[in-house]
Amino acid sequence: MARKAGTSTAVVSYVINDGPRPVAAATRERVLAAAAELGYRPNRIARALRSRTTGVVGLVLADASNPYFGALARHVEQALDRHDRLTMIGNAGYSAARQRHLVDRFLDARVDGLIIVSADGADDVAALTAAAGVPVVYVHHGPAGGRARVVAADNHHAVHEAVAHLRGHGHRHIAFLSGPDDGGPVGLRRAAWSAAVAGDPGSVLLRCDYSRAAADALTRRLAGEGALPRALVAATDEQAIGVLSGAWSRGLDVPGGIALISLDGTPESAHTAPALTATRQPLRAMAEQAVGLLFDDASRAPAARAPLAVRRSCGCQK
């Protein structure tokens, strides 16, 4: 390559390894052109041995099959790519034990950092990663009282905005569809809903698993019993899509039979029938903040707001 670029092997090394000495722009271009023509690929393993870094960041997802976490992972990967880091993804499948196992495996692989997108918090691994000299940032949720940095959205504001919007459509009683328990951010959303509808016994709490099938079955059952609420805030898009399916199967109009707002705002929410009104979680801002914190080029910021994307499911003619 040095012969083809008309320079020394030392200069080629400086270009390929981005240092330690500067190289004139014209010479750098000749070296890169020669590398491209010869099909050269840098040896990441050799580079890692020299620099004691791998150029890889481990990303642990709560559930890779959930579109919300998939969209968040895409933004994290894009932010890491801008830092010239490769993303290695592991799926915890909502299992705290699996999440810890993935953290151990990533540390064994000598990753440069860890980003954990956690649903229930699980164990705080900050002490473990600190001992390994690997920075860690939680996104979406983190362990209670944990030492690691956490980047999350403002769930309180999102829920209050959703409730206020439904009240603007004339609804007095506004139900909330939560998960099977109050763990993680959904618990924060349920608490915010409780505060927003305090003193109204007609605003009921509903529960089901975080799946379209479970929310579909619940909606069918409540409709059959004549107990389906007229206005509902769903904790997740997956549940909200299930509500739409269950309402359709019972011949109920949305929003005429039930007005609906979801709290995730994944890209899929704009393409349901009718389109879901949803609070759009600021996934890109959360991802960029997390990656910035990982490499110490960002300061801790207040929780980002989740603005309301107004569509048809709430009663607006959009």
Asked, for residue 303, whether it belongs to a domain, the answer is no
Residues 91 and 6 in one domain: no
Asked, for residue 187, whether it belongs to a domain, the answer is yes
With a cut of 80, say whether residue 134 has pLDDT above it: yes
Residues 29 and 100 in one domain: no
Residue 19: which pLDDT band, with cuts at 50, 70 and 90?
low
* Cβ-Cβ contacts under 8 Å for 114 (sequence gap 6 or more): 57, 58, 59, 60, 103, 106, 107, 125, 129, 134, 135, 136, 137
With a cut of 70, say whether residue 51 has pLDDT above it: no
Asked, for residue 311, whether it belongs to a domain, the answer is no
Residues 28 and 58 in one domain: no
Q: What is the mean pLDDT of residues 94-100?
A: 89
Per DSSP bridges, beta strands 86-91 and 113-117 are unpaired
What total of structural domains would you count in the chain? 3
Mean pLDDT of the chain: 87
272-292 residue pLDDT tens: 999 999 998 889 999 999 999
Residues 261 and 212 in one domain: yes
Cis amide leading into 20 (omega within 30): yes
Residues 104 and 160 in one domain: no
Q: Which of 104, 136, 151 is the last residue of a domain?
A: 151
In this prediction, residue 211 carries a pLDDT of 93
Q: Which of 124, 151, 178 is the last residue of a domain?
A: 151
Asked, for residue 249, whether it belongs to a domain, the answer is yes
Asked, for residue 299, whether it belongs to a domain, the answer is no
What percent of the chain has a predicted confidence (pLDDT) above 70? 86
Contact 276, 262 (CB under 8 A): yes
Residues 274 and 197 in one domain: yes
Show the domain range for 85: 54-151
**What's the CATH number where 86 sits?**
3.40.50.2300
Residue 4: which pLDDT band, with cuts at 50, 70 and 90?
low
Phi/psi for 70 (5° steps) reads: -65, -45
CA angle 265, 271, 273 (to 5 degrees): 110
Asked, for residue 298, whether it belongs to a domain, the answer is no
Q: What is the mean pLDDT of residues 110-127?
A: 83
Residues 33 and 76 in one domain: no
Residue 295: which pLDDT band, with cuts at 50, 70 and 90?
confident
Residues 59 and 80 in one domain: yes
CA–CA gap between residue 106 and residue 113 (Å, rounded): 9
With a cut of 60, say whether residue 49 has pLDDT above it: no
Residues 210 and 262 in one domain: yes
In this prediction, residue 47 carries a pLDDT of 54
In this prediction, residue 130 carries a pLDDT of 87
With a cut of 70, say whether residue 18 has pLDDT above it: no
197-240 residue pLDDT tens: 998 999 999 999 999 999 999 999 999 999 999 999 999 999 99
Residues 173 and 88 in one domain: no
Per DSSP bridges, beta strands 277-279 and 308-309 are antiparallel
Residues 259 and 195 in one domain: yes
Asked, for residue 304, whether it belongs to a domain, the answer is no
Residues 208 and 125 in one domain: no
Q: Which of 151, 171, 190 is the last residue of a domain?
A: 151
Asked, for residue 310, whether it belongs to a domain, the answer is no
Higher-confidence residue of 20 and 266: namely: 266
140-176 residue pLDDT tens: 888 877 778 889 888 899 999 999 999 999 999 999 9
Residue 17: which pLDDT band, with cuts at 50, 70 and 90?
low
